[in-house]
Amino acid sequence: MERFDKSFTRQEPIPEAGIAAAVDVMRSGVLHRYGAEPSQVAALEAEFAAQTGAAHCIAVASGGYAMGCALRALGAAPGDPVLTNAFTLAPVPGAIAAVGAEPVLVETTENLVLDLDDLAERIAASRARVLMLSHMRGHIVDMEALMAICDAAGVAVVEDCAHTMGAAWNGVPSGRWGAVGCYSCQTYKHVNSGEGGLIVTDDADLAARMILLSGSYMLYDRNGTAPDAEVFARHAGTVPNVSGRMDELRAAILRPQIADLPRQVERWNARYRVLEDGFRAAPGLAVIARPQAEAYVGSSIQTIASDPARVPSFVAGCAARGVEWKWFGAERAVGFTSAHRHWGYLAPQRLPRTDAALAGLLDMRVPLTFDLDDCARIGRIVADEAARHLA
């Protein structure tokens, strides 16, 4: 039987230009963003704002910090209801809970996106004024329809784009539909600085509040896309410092990766398509449909098993041959993989449609250290093990 012997967590090395820039930063000894002239962080902010078409960008310590910063800037207060996807990863409801707000989970469809009918109902029932929209595992909901619902109800949208940096809906980059877009630069995302986050917005007042929140120490004019001084004057002295700045070293590592992102997206999608073709031949597994309007980034791939009871033996069979799956229907949280029933800091919520989708949901990372032949081999192994365990 065929086996696969590459790591599903091994990343590509940092580009040589990033290594060289990082070495220069270390030799300077100036790692703080407000000590460096010129600043790698400010340059990164200007470059990412230009790439996404945003007026303002703020570079911060992590994607989770980015979400919490956006919530604070929007005025989310302890006890406030904040809507979010029932299918997401723990840092998303964690960011809501960390500001003292109450996560209100919205049902997930069989295509792994937010259920818009349930969203409308939960807006009405909860009176929430903020939606933390998670584009979980890179699946983007109909954004025109979602924004119509939220705009009509006066709900501000914060987009969690941890899995959609470089993606778009109907030509509009992910993160540019709502009031704020938040991105992660953690090792397993589309750019890698170990940890790190980026925030984009067109709203000058929100940008000023988030810059102040991140800890500008009144040096806010050194931000790469800072609003005018009179905007800061409206907020300085009233916004607390919740320090979470990005440092010069991480920005130096990220700038070449951001510039190279369009090429990397093409490479991910080529691998995704080979895997998708292989999984379509696997009995008992359904590949998730991708809408024509969605320009996705295939850095992971999902399938749904028709019989969840058979998933453990299938996963074990694949693992014995070197192919790793994460199962969202597992009884306990495992590593990065968890479901709403595992988040004990949330009040239990009834989510039958989400539970049905997650029961058979299988998830696989697609590292760029795999080549197309690797992906074809994985597809054959998966189809073979599906025939053994799921048919």
Average pLDDT, 10 consecutive residues per value, the chain (391 residues): 96 97 97 95 98 98 98 97 96 96 96 98 97 98 98 98 98 98 97 98 98 95 96 95 97 98 98 97 95 98 96 97 94 82 88 94 97 98 97 90
CATH number, domain with residue 278: 3.90.1150.10
Q: Which of 129, 221, 202 is nearest to 211 (CA)?
A: 221
Q: What is the pLDDT of residue 276?
A: 97
DSSP state of 215: -
For 247, other C-beta atoms within 10 Å of its C-beta total 20
Q: Which of 193, 225, 259 lies at the terminal end of a domain, its last residue?
A: 259
In a domain, 202, yes or no: yes
Q: What is the pLDDT of residue 336?
A: 78
Say yes or no: 200 and 335 in one domain: no
Q: What is the pLDDT of residue 238?
A: 94
Say yes or no: 247 and 269 in one domain: no
Residues in Cβ contact with 159 at an 8 Å cutoff, skipping those fewer than 6 apart: 133, 135, 174, 175, 177, 178, 180, 181, 182
Q: Which of 206, 229, 259 lies at the terminal end of a domain, its last residue?
A: 259
Say yes or no: 266 and 249 in one domain: no
In a domain, 134, yes or no: yes
Say yes or no: 239 and 314 in one domain: no
Q: Which of 221, 243, 259 lies at the terminal end of a domain, its last residue?
A: 259
Q: What is the pLDDT of residue 347?
A: 86
Residues in Cβ contact with 62 at an 8 Å cutoff, skipping those fewer than 6 apart: 184, 186, 195, 196, 197, 244
Total domains present in the chain: 2
In a domain, 249, yes or no: yes
In a domain, 3, yes or no: no
Say yes or no: 51 and 89 in one domain: yes
Say yes or no: 154 and 280 in one domain: no
Say yes or no: 70 and 183 in one domain: yes
* Look-up of token digits 């120490």: 217
Q: What is the pLDDT of residue 201?
A: 98
Say yes or no: 212 and 83 in one domain: yes
Say yes or no: 159 and 275 in one domain: no
Say yes or no: 252 and 310 in one domain: no
In a domain, 104, yes or no: yes
Could you tell me the residue range of the domain that residue 179 belongs to?
16-259
Say yes or no: 285 and 251 in one domain: no
Tokens for 300, please give them: 């992971």
CATH number, domain with residue 79: 3.40.640.10
* pTM reported for the whole predicted model: 0.96
- For every residue of 80-145, DSSP letters joined together read -EEEEESSS-THHHHHHHHTT-EEEEE-B-TTSSB-HHHHHHHHHHH---EEEEE-GGG----HHH
In a domain, 7, yes or no: no
Say yes or no: 164 and 179 in one domain: yes
